[in-house]
Structure 1
Amino acid sequence: MQAGQPKWRRRSEARPGEIIEAALAVFAEKGFAAARLDDIAARAGVSKGALYLYFETKQDLFRAVVRETVAPNLAAVEVFAGQGGLAFGDLVRLVFARIAGVVAEGRLGPVAKMVIGESRNFPELAKVWHEDVVSRMLNAISGAVAAAQARGEVAPGDPRFHVFTLAGPLLMGVLWREVFVPIGAEPIDLKALLAQHAEVVLGGMLLEPGEART
């Protein structure tokens, strides 16, 4: 680097990713309302003017955070769900293991907490989260439930409600990790929680060969 050259001057193609990573860190630490674009620019090592070349608002940055750091992990879930030859019980176990891994990486939890806590004042957060995360998950898994019902593998019922039943402990586990553990609550093993829940809930959802329920 030449003398006097700004420390934030880097390859231009590298900047958007670095800015998104910085935004994720600042949002996780401060929340959406308290996060400042100056903080994000400083964390990324770019000028505020350079940040504006890629993102005009914090809302734009939040959408980029979701699309680049959270939503890509859903692609694996969609692939699992689309595998018609995969038994539904195995699908649930794979999906839970994948999500537990993403939460353990520390990316999904802080963003989910921020959406829950601040979406009343910033409804755009909830809209982005619903469109890019919740709807994709709900559509993928409820589609797999419906397919499993058609095969006589899963009990009758609204496929979406089955998904809500599956997802409840996941949401509680994430909130426990992000809200209560920081104030001294005993940590929980989310992977173990979801593995246990999978066996319990599948016991009620799955049909034995030849079994029929109304």
Structure 2
Amino acid sequence: MTDESVIGDAMPEAKKAKRRKAAPQRAPAARRPARKPGRPRKAEPAERRAAILEAALHVFAERGYEAARLDDVAKRAGVAKGTLYLYFKDKEALFEDVVRSAVSPVLERLNELAASPDLPFDQVVEALYAMFATQVLGTEKRLLIRLVLTEGPRFPRIAEFYYRNVVARVLPAISKLAGRAVEQGTLSNDALVRYPQLFAAPLLMTVIWDALFARVKPLDAAGFLHAYREIIAPAKPRRVR
């Protein structure tokens, strides 16, 4: 083998190397960083908002409206204080949304029952009372009503907001349902048509009793509400054929 042949064989390899060096290199595809074991999943906006509302309910109930601080709400919800302002402009707006989120299931159920004209009135009242016993008295939502009762006189805007968004929507619906029952002959008098507050009276009574006397003498709320329903809206006796 001559020196010329060696040089001749090496030339093509040199050219190939030069071309490979000149060719643009493709950047490797970016990879998502692997989640570290035990690292919590980032909460979705809806989940974060729900956590804030739940924390706010506790803080408002424990400290009262005036003493409640957004710092405490943020700490309890596990978010930065600045995150609160992404959802609520101030403490009043936060409180109003706490009320809305708490009562919306009750209002939805009331609308469903009102849209069932063939459902006897006594069953409508029974269903609403049962729902109140399980989904309000049986949960921390009862703290919200207690808060309105205690703080409403000192902060009229709280009471006015609750009236507009809860009371003023529930009582007219009850009055209308009672009027329909009177027309159908399933309700013997129009007392509930004229005074739908009769429907709400035992609900407030159960909340007050729970706050004041639950440790001394617990109240069977479900039984109490059933007994009250039998007084204001007794079931119409069925005719035996």
Give the TM-score taking structure 1 as reference length: 0.84
Equivalent in the alignment of 2:168: 135
Of residues 69-78 and 46-55 in structure 1, the stretch that sits farther from structure 2 once superposed is 69-78
Residue 174 (str. 1) matches residue 207 (str. 2)? yes
**Aligned-partner Cα distance in 1 for 2:194–2:237:** 21
Q: 1:81 aligns with which of 85, 93, 114?
A: 114
Q: 1:194 aligns with which of 215, 225, 229?
A: 225
CA drift at 1:208:
7.4
**Change over 3 Å in CA distance of 1:12–1:169 after alignment to 2:** closer
Equivalent in the alignment of 1:94: 127
**Aligned-partner Cα distance in 2 for 1:133–1:117:** 17
Of residues 65-74 and 37-46 in structure 1, the stretch that sits farther from structure 2 once superposed is 65-74
Task: Map 1:1-214; keep pairs closer than 5 Å.
Answer: 10-157=43-190, 159-181=192-214, 184-203=215-234
Whichever of the two has the greater Rg, that structure is: 2
**Change over 3 Å in CA distance of 1:196–1:25 after alignment to 2:** same
Secondary structure of residue in 2 paired with 1:146 = helix
Give the TM-score taking structure 2 as reference length: 0.75
Equivalent in the alignment of 1:212: none
**Aligned-partner Cα distance in 1 for 2:190–2:78:** 52
**Change over 3 Å in CA distance of 1:10–1:102 after alignment to 2:** closer
One-letter amino acid of the counterpart of residue 75, structure 1: E
CA drift at 1:207:
7.1
CA drift at 1:194:
0.3
Secondary structure of residue in 2 paired with 1:186 = coil
Residues 31-81 of structure 1, C-alpha deviations (whole Å, 9 max, x = no match): 212211000000111111111121121111111111112222221122112
Contact 1:82 1:144 in 2 (8 A): no
**Change over 3 Å in CA distance of 1:104–1:64 after alignment to 2:** same
CA drift at 1:96:
1.0
Secondary structure of residue in 2 paired with 1:192 = helix
**Change over 3 Å in CA distance of 1:160–1:29 after alignment to 2:** farther
CA drift at 1:196:
1.1
C-alpha root-mean-square deviation of aligned residues, in Å?
Answer: 2.5
Contact 2:137 2:207 in 1 (8 A): no
**Change over 3 Å in CA distance of 1:24–1:90 after alignment to 2:** same
Contact 1:59 1:124 in 2 (8 A): no
**Aligned-partner Cα distance in 1 for 2:133–2:210:** 12
**Aligned-partner Cα distance in 1 for 2:82–2:109:** 36
CA drift at 1:150:
1.7
Secondary structure of residue in 2 paired with 1:71 = helix
Gaps (5+ residues) in structure 1? 210-214
**Aligned-partner Cα distance in 2 for 1:62–1:84:** 35
Of residues 27-36 and 41-50 in structure 1, the stretch that sits farther from structure 2 once superposed is 27-36
